[in-house]
Structure 1
C-alpha cells in the first residue's frame, strides 16, 4: 500500500470504476465519493483526471508484476505457463461481465490518443517478456512468437468471453492451451 492512504484509496476506487464503468463516464467526484475522500482533496493528489489515469496504469503494472512473481514460484517454465493460462478461470464471471481490466482499459484509452494512451502501452509487454522467458526456458527457439501467440490466445478468449458474456469460451480455450503446453517438447516450434 502507498504511504498516503487517501491517494491509494483514490487509485483503487478509480481502478474499480474504470473497469466496471469505463474511464470516460467515471468522474473525479464519483471516484472521490467511492474512495471516501472529500472531492476537493482529489486535486491535492491528482491535478487532472489524466494524472489519476497514469497512477491507475502504474498500479496495474505493479499488479501484473506481482502476479507474475507469484507464478514464478511454480517449479518450472511449463508449470508457470499452465498457471498463466489458467489464471482467468477464477474470474470467468467477472471477465464475462467486464472483460480484461488491462485490455479494456488499453482499448478505451486508445480511442482518445495522447500521453495517457501511450502510457498504457507498457502493460502487455510485461506479459510478453515474461512469457518469452518461459518458452525460452522450455528450449523453444521462437520463444518471442510463442509468447505473442499465447497472450493473443488468452486475450482473445477474454474478449470473446466478454462479448458473449459466456465463460465457457474461456474454459474451452484454456483446455486447448493446456494440452498444447503440456505437449511441448524442448526445441519444438509448434504454434498455439
Structure 2
C-alpha cells in the first residue's frame, strides 16, 4: 500500500467504526439519549473526528439505518444459499430466536428505531427506517411466493408482524423466553402451510 493510500484507508476505517457504533448505541440508548460523544466513545474515535464525517446526529441516525440495511442484506444473502424457501424462513426465525437476549434488553434494532423516529413527526428518517423493514417484508414475501402459497405478501406481513410483536413483548417484560416460545410457534406454523394441489379435481360420473 502506498503512503498516499494510507490516509484514505484510515478514514474509511473510522467511518465504518462510527457507523457500526451508531447502530449499536442508538439501539441500546435510543435517539434522544444518545450523544455524538457516546458514539465517538463506542467507536474509539476522537469526538472532533466525528464532526468531520457526520455534522449532525441525524446524519449518524441515517448511517445507522444504512448499517441495519447492510446487515439485513448480508443475512438474507446467506439465507438465500439454502435451496428450499421454507428452510430459509426457518433459518430466519432461528436467527431471531438466537437474538433473544438482545431483544429482551433492547427490542428489535430497526423496529424500535422506527417507532422512536416516528414520534418526531418530521417524516424523513422514520420513512427510511420503515424502508428497511419493508425490505425484510419483501424478501419474506418472495420466499412464500416461491413456495407457491396463496397470498404470499399477507403471509410475509404476518411473519414480520409476529417478529416485531414478540420482540416488543420480550423487551417490555424483560423475558427472552418469549422469543423462544413464539419463535417455536412460528416454526410450527411454517410447517403447517401447504401449497394448494395443482391437480384439478375430477367430478365423479
Query: Does the TM-score normalized on the shorter chain lie above 0.5?
Result: yes
How far is 1:113 from its partner?
Answer: 2.3
For residues 122 and 2 of structure 1, do their structure 2 counterparts lie closer, same or farther at Cα, with a shift above 3 Å needed?
Answer: farther
User: Per the alignment, in what secondary structure is the counterpart of residue 111 of structure 1?
Assistant: helix
User: Per the alignment, in what secondary structure is the counterpart of residue 70 of structure 1?
Assistant: helix
Give runs of aligned pairs for residues 123-142 of structure 1, distance below 5 A.
123-142=132-151
In structure 1, the gaps of 5 or more residues are none
The alignment's C-alpha RMSD in Å is: 1.7
Whole-angstrom CA distance in 2 between matches of 1:46 and 1:23: 15
The corresponding residue for 1:116 is 125
Q: Is 1:14 paired with 2:22?
A: yes
User: Per the alignment, in what secondary structure is the counterpart of residue 187 of structure 1?
Assistant: coil
Whole-angstrom CA distance in 2 between matches of 1:105 and 1:15: 10
- Among 105, 123, 130, the alignment partner of 1:97 is 105
Give runs of aligned pairs for residues 34-183 of structure 1, distance below 5 A.
34-114=42-122, 115-183=124-192
How far is 1:123 from its partner?
Answer: 0.8
Whole-angstrom CA distance in 2 between matches of 1:38 and 1:2: 13
In structure 2, the gaps of 5 or more residues are 1-8, 198-205
Asked whether the equivalents of residues 150 and 195 of structure 2 are also in contact (C-alpha less than 8 Å), the reply is no
Runs of 4+ with deviation above 2 angstroms: none
How far is 1:118 from its partner?
Answer: 2.2
Whole-angstrom CA distance in 1 between matches of 2:100 and 2:193: 26
Whole-angstrom CA distance in 1 between matches of 2:23 and 2:174: 21
Asked whether the equivalents of residues 22 and 63 of structure 2 are also in contact (C-alpha less than 8 Å), the reply is no
How far is 1:2 from its partner?
Answer: 9.8
Deviations 1:96-152 (A, max 9, x none): 111111111111111112222222121111111111111111111200000001111
Structure (1 or 2) with the larger CA radius of gyration: 2
Aligned length: 188
Whole-angstrom CA distance in 2 between matches of 1:38 and 1:3: 13
